Amino acid sequence: LPNVTVLSSKVVNTASGIPVGVIETNMPVNTSTGTKVVIYEQINIIKLSKGMVVITFASPKALQTVLLPEFSGMMDSFRILEQ
């Protein structure tokens, strides 16, 4: 994607020990009214025995510090029931 900046890519473990690939990006976009906004996106990838789960968080960068802790808490609450 044009103008996307990759901030980081890493593998982290959730509170229950599930390894998760995490990619963080910033992307400038224009709203429908023409206002320029930077979107922060965090892509989380969990590998399973028969595929993967991709969970994405996106918000205006201005709200990242408010909303990201809630998303991180949700990611930490995941449990793999069966593979």
Closest residue by Cα to residue 7 from 56, 59, 37, 43: 43
pLDDT in tens, 58-70: 999 999 999 999 9
Question: What is the pTM (predicted TM-score) of this model?
Answer: 0.88
Cα 26 → chain centroid: 11
Q: What is the mean pLDDT of the chain?
A: 92
82 vs 18, higher pLDDT: 18
Segment 8-32 mean pLDDT: 95
Q: What is the number of residues in the chain? A: 83
* Residue 65 near residue 42 (C-beta atoms within 8 A): no
pLDDT score recorded for residue 78: 85
